[in-house]
Amino acid sequence: MLTSEKASGSVISEGRLSMESFETESARRGRQMADLYHRYGIDTEEIDDVQSLPIRFLVEVGKVGLAKYIFKEIIHYKGNAEVILSRPCTYGVFSGPVGGFSPRPHLCVGCLRCTIQHPEFVKVLPNPERLSLGDSYTTHGHIAAIDEEAKKGMVPVRGQGYRGRFGGPGFDGMLTDMSEIVRPSRDGIHGRELIGTSVDIGSKPMHLSFDEKGEIKGIQPKMFSIQVPFIFDLPPGNLGTEKLIRVIDLTSKGIDTLACVNSSDVERMAIDSANIIPVLSIDEAEKSSNYPNARLIQLDGWDSSAVDKARSVSDAMIGVRIKFEEGWQLRLDSAVNYGVEVIHLLADLHGRGEDGQFVTELFKEAHLRLIEQGRRDLVTLIGAGGIVGADHVPKSIISGLDAVALDLPVLFALQGRSDGSLVERAGVIGNLPNKMDEGWAEQRLTNLCGSWRDQLLEILGAMGIREVRRLRGEFGRSMIVEHLEDEAFEGIAGYVGGGN
Amino acid sequence: MTIVKPSDILIEKTTNLLQNGMNARAFGDFGVPEALGDARWTDELILSTWHMAETGKIPEKLNFKTGNSGGGFDRLKFQFLDESEWLEHSEKISTKLDLNRRGDEKNKISIDIPWYGGGMSYGSVSVNVMMSRARNARRWNSFISTGEGGYPTELREVEENVITQVATGYFGVEEDTIQAAPIIEFKYAQGAKPGLGGHLLAAKAGEEVAKLRGSVPFVSLFSPFPFHSTYSVEDHSKHLDWIETVNPKALLSVKVSTPHDVDMVAIGSFYAGAHIIHLDGGYGGTGAAPEIAKKNIAMPIELAIPKVHKFLVAEGVRDKVTLIASGGIRTADDMAKAIALGADGCVLGTTDLVGLGCTRCSNCEGGPSGRGCPWGLTTTDIELQEWVPQDWAVQRLDNLYGAMQWRMREILRKLGLDDVTQLRGRTDLLQYIPEEASE
């Protein structure tokens, strides 16, 4: 009997395995093993809007002008219906029952053919209501992109080149690299299905030791894997409704990631599970025992005695949330020194720390600090704040994180609207659709995750990197626009550097 | 809905309306369309391009020089001499560019203007648009590239002005079209989607397009990345050797995007035998690309040119290779700045399309209608492509190129230069504009 047969548990029906039947049998077993293999993927499916964004464009048609024009055409073309009934729009804006007299601006994509072709009586205007969505950081562009990603679950693809500003602040000032000819792997975009996006959550010893039997001795790795390098953070502001928490819970299970939920909600809703991270205040650390299924519990600040209390009553890993406020570096050092396995770093929703530094710099500082101390792998760094675009995920990981936590994207993926400030977490006032169906919402969030994962694959594929874990802290695979400008424009009159 | 070729009378009506409408906007008979333009191609830049394409002249009232992107070309200007030192505006100011600097036995090619047309594949655009660009290239003793979609037979008429592109999917690559081409372009990557390969979405891969690409209709076509036969500079060299064997006289152009080691890629290509190193910057055009790639992967061309130029100079090979820049180059001013930063010449793509009416609405990939560009440019839809009459398009491009050449000479004479080649690498003639003062 073949050794592999024992391992797979399959049985030869009768008699010995002859050379004759070997090929057939081995093919059958190969197929059987292959069928057992499940390649990770996120099942996306296009889903309808329930609360569409304000339309992109307003279309104004001067009805008198149009009537005169049609009259003229009837005379000029002697009733030739093909010519008279032709419309300048291929998207159906003027194809309603009464044509241009009742345009359908929701179909307008802004090609402007109508207003060029008929400048006398057609106007296409950007919709100010749409432009007013979000704020100076989380712009209407981010919100529209998230909305599309959550609707379709696909990578947004468009024609024409980039339309925005040159470089820019924050994440916009970072570019990712690609490999042109000499590549670290042979897998480009057609090898994307082989690119891994799973990340390890927890602690790995900086080296392994083995006893004489070959068993690991000393500090053991303590970690688990999730399939995508993003988790759901605590819903900011007033968003933490039961309904939303249920949706986040279901989605995180569906795609095999994690969701941070206030501990009181976890208990009240009885949703303790391996995919939920109960978040407790440090005063309630001893309640960690209430979550026997959690793999990771977070405390909302650093306090060694709170960690002790939590550890004493729970086998879960204990993580600590640290805000980028004065003294965060020391708190990070102390927590890691104390053996905390996961640190969840928090900037404001514009991606800034208390001192105004942007998260790419802050994440980098945290990462390098631990590297210099020789204990980076002892801890998982998760970060949140200002991550509102698919490109922000790889850029945060390049800056040194293991994974990011999503906050505002959840609101906009579910077609919610914000009211007021989008800077401080506690101050967020969001309105989710009134009659939000949970199945619909789960699919929207799943679609968003699918789209963002696929876009991560695009970035990794372009670099020739086969797993996202290898992207962590790879500053050399990014380019900072300011640095590039210094190199390119040095010596040009008037150039002083630093983007000035 | 069945789409049929429109009648002549409908074509006449529609094209008249479109052409008159563009002129009315460009000449100021009506206001600037409120929804037109973006940071890179502002409303004025689009309208000024229409103006030049219609008249062959620089507009007086529109900004035809820069966009509003807040960086790169938009923050650079020339330090012109005092007016008393300006040269006369004259056709004697040379805009010629030699493409073969290796001094080998291959084609000796000069173009009359320091730019040629970038690759736009059949499928991404119609034969009409390809032919219009190629016929215009012939008028200007320049070139267009086929892009990666094969070589429609109509192009044979102008094959002396057509570069055959060999890209990673090898779509439409045939021995005879390699042999027919004066220049062969290897497209390793494209600035708008570096590292990702080409995209032609299903809606635009119609029967003729698919046939030329050796595919089946209405299936999305994704070129792989990278070349699956190239994983080292040595492989790259073999690639070029292969083409040299098929067409010993052709110049070899290597089109790459702009990663952080683009300077090393350039020198590797030179030693592999390239005559032209074509850098395609991150803000370049495309018929379809993931949005995440356009903005984030690889660097803008303004930042790549000096990096490569300086490196080639330091390696002592700068005068043996032609450095061509593309990807976000919109105007004659952009081209002059690119040359001052270290390029020899440029490649234009989007500018040609804007000259023919493109408003940069970004629906080239098909858009919600699935039919592609409503202006008839980036589509092979049998109705829409009729909105671009070939003779009209050739004349528009001819006018546009004339205006841009005039502007190029204007810049040169104000710098006291009588040959565009004298501008190369002259960063001392540039000035960086503080943000608050940028045009």
Cα within 13 Å of Cα(A271), Cβ side: 28
Question: Residue A95: which pLDDT band, with cuts at 50, 70 and 90?
Answer: confident
Q: Which fold has domain A172-483?
A: TIM Barrel (3.20.20)
pLDDT one-digit tens code per residue, B193-228: 888 888 888 888 888 899 988 889 988 888 888 787
CA distance B19 to chain A (A): 8
Chain B residues with CB under 8 Å of A92 CB are: 369
The pLDDT tens digits for B95-124 are 999 999 999 999 999 999 999 999 999 999
Q: What is the mean pLDDT of chain A?
A: 92
Measured between its terminal Cα atoms, the distance across chain A in Å is: 74
Tell me: the pLDDT tens digits for A277-326? Answer: 999 999 999 999 999 999 999 999 999 999 999 999 999 999 999 999 99
Model confidence band, residue A9 (pLDDT cutoffs 50, 70, 90): very low
pLDDT band at B160 (very low <50, low <70, confident <90, very high): very high
Residue A16 pLDDT: 63
CA–CA min distance A218, chain B (Å)? 42
Give B 380-409 residues with CB within 8 A of chain A.
384
B283 touches A: beta carbon within 8 Å: yes
| Lookup: tokens for B134 | 């190629």
Contact by Cβ (8 Å): A464, B317: no
pLDDT over threshold 60, residue B400: yes
CA–CA distance, A417 with A429 (Å, rounded to integer): 9
Tell me, what's the pLDDT at A134? 95
On the question of pLDDT at A163 being above 60, the answer is yes
Residue A83 and residue B197: Cβ atoms within 8 Å?
Answer: no
Chain centroid, CA B334 distance in Å: 13
Amino acid (one-letter) located at B141? N
pLDDT of residue A238: 92
* CA distance readout (Å), B321 to A104, A182, B277: 55, 21, 7
Kindly report the CATH class assigned to B97-437: alpha beta
Query: The pTM is what?
Result: 0.93
Q: What is the percent of chain B where pLDDT is above 70? A: 99
Helix (H) / strand (E) element for A146: namely helix A140-152
Among A244, A185, A263, residue whose Cα is nearest residue A406: A244
| Contacts with A1 (C-beta within 8 Å, 6 or more apart), sequence order | A12, A17
More confident residue, A189 or A105: A105
The C-alpha atoms of residue B217 and residue B230 are separated, in whole angstroms, by 29
Q: What is the pLDDT of residue A118?
A: 95
Outline where A299-379 has alpha helix (H). Answer: 304-313, 328-337, 359-372
Pairing of strands B183-187, B251-256: parallel
In this prediction, the answer to ipTM > 0.90 reads yes
Question: Bridge partners of B164?
Answer: B184
Residues A146-171 have a mean pLDDT of 95
Assess B439–A contact: CB distance below 8 Å, yes or no: no
A428-437, B42-51, B421-430: least confidently modelled range: A428-437
Which candidate in A75, A158, A448 is best for mutational testing of the B interface (most B CBs within 10 A)?
Answer: A158
- Return the beta strands (E) in B302-348 as ranges: 322-326, 345-348
For B393-404, b/e burial (b = at least 16 CB within 10 A) is: bbbbbbbbbbbb
Q: What is the pLDDT of residue A1?
A: 34
Report d(CA B341, CA B76) in Å as an integer. 10
Cβ–Cβ under 8 Å, residues A434 and A373: no
Angle (CA) A434 A436 A442, round 5°: 155
Going from the C-alpha of B111 to that of each of B99, B152, B394, the distances in angstroms are: 8, 24, 18
Asked if the Cβ–Cβ distance from A494 to B431 is below 8 Å, we say yes
| pLDDT for A208 beyond 90 | no
B196 interaction partners in chain A (CB closer than 8 Å):
188-189, 458, 461-462
Spatial CB neighbours of A134, under 8 Å, sequence gap ≥ 6: A140, A142, A143, A418, A422
Residue type, A421: S
What pLDDT does residue A435 have? 85
Separation of alpha carbons A142 and A136, rounded Å: 11
Smallest Cβ distance to A161: which of B230, B294, B427? B294
Flag whether residue A184 sits within 8 Å of chain B, measured between CB atoms.
Answer: no
Of all residues in chain B, the one with the smallest CA distance to A84 is B10
Contact between residue A258 and residue A233 where contact means Cβ atoms under 8 Å apart: no
Region of A214 (left: φ > 0; alpha: ψ -120 to 50; beta: rest) is left
Chain B interface disruption, residue of A160, A163, A195, A487, most B CBs within 10 A: A160
Q: Do A177 and B297 make contact, defined as CB atoms within 8 angstroms?
A: yes
Check pLDDT > 50 for residue A8.
no
What residue type is B310 in one-letter code?
A: K
- Chain B segment 195-214 residues within 8 A of A by beta carbon are 195-197, 199, 201
CA distance B37 to B361: 9
Which burial class, exposed, middle or buried, applies to B2 when counting CB atoms under 10 A from its CB (0-12, 13-18, 19+)?
A: exposed
Interface check B433 vs A, CB under 8 A: yes
**What long-range pairs does A74-83 form, CB within 8 A, spacing at least 24?**
A77/B9, A77/B13, A80/B9, A82/B6, A82/B7, A82/B9, A82/B10, A83/B7, A83/B9, A83/B10, A83/B13
Residues B419-436: tens digit of each pLDDT? 999 999 999 999 999 876
Closest alpha carbon within chain B to A86:
B10
Instruction: Find the closest chain A residue to B436 by CA distance.
Output: A500
What was the pLDDT predicted at B194? 85
pLDDT of residue B372: 85
Instruction: Report yes or no: B87 at the A interface, CB cutoff 8 Å.
Output: no
pLDDT reading at B351 higher than 60: yes
* Domain coordinates in residue numbering, chain B: 97-437
Q: Where in chain A is the domain with CATH 3.20.20.70?
A: 172-483
> Which among A109, A172, A479 has the least Cβ separation from residue B363?
A109
pLDDT per residue over A444-479, tens digit each? 999 999 999 999 999 998 888 889 999 999 999 999
In this complex, do A183 and B226 lie within 8 Å of one another by their Cβ atoms?
Answer: yes
Cβ-contact B300, B282 below 8 angstroms: yes
Closest listed residue to residue A240, CA positions, set A252, A248, A231: A248
Contact B259 A180 (CB under 8 A): yes
Which residue of B10, B18, B232 is in closest CB contact with A83? B10
Contact B381, B121 (CB under 8 A): no
Would you give the DSSP letter of residue A125? E
* Closest of A386, A383, A444, A440 to residue A410, by C-alpha: A444
**Torsion angle (degrees, nearest 10) of CA B180, B185, B187, B190:** -120
List the single best residue of A112, A155, A455 to mutate versus B (max B Cβ within 10 A): A112
**CA-based nearest distance B208→chain A, Å:** 21
Q: pLDDT band at A12, cuts 50/70/90?
A: very low
Does residue A275 surpass a pLDDT of 90? yes
CA B297, CA A177: separation in Å to the nearest integer? 6
Mean pLDDT taken over chain B: 94
Q: Does the structure show a pLDDT above 70 at A5? A: no
Contact residues on chain A for B29, CB-CB shorter than 8 A: 119
- At residue B233 the predicted structure's pLDDT band, cuts being 50, 70 and 90, is confident
Cα B13 to Cα B356: distance, rounded to the nearest angstrom: 17
Question: Is the alpha carbon torsion for B4, B7, B12, B13 positive or negative?
Answer: negative
Residues A488, B303: C-beta atoms closer than 8 Å = yes
Residue A186 has pLDDT above 80, yes or no: no
Query: Which residues of chain A neighbour B190 with C-beta distances below 8 Å?
Result: none
**pLDDT range class, residue A184, cuts 50, 70, 90:** low
Q: Assess A75–B contact: CB distance below 8 Å, yes or no.
A: no
| Neighbouring C-beta atoms of residue A14, cutoff 10 Å | 5
Is A7 a residue whose pLDDT tops 60? no
Question: B257 vs A118: CB contact, 8 Å cut-off?
Answer: no
Count residue pairs from A and B with Cβ separation < 8 A.
Answer: 308
Interface list for B 133-162 with A (CB within 8 A): none
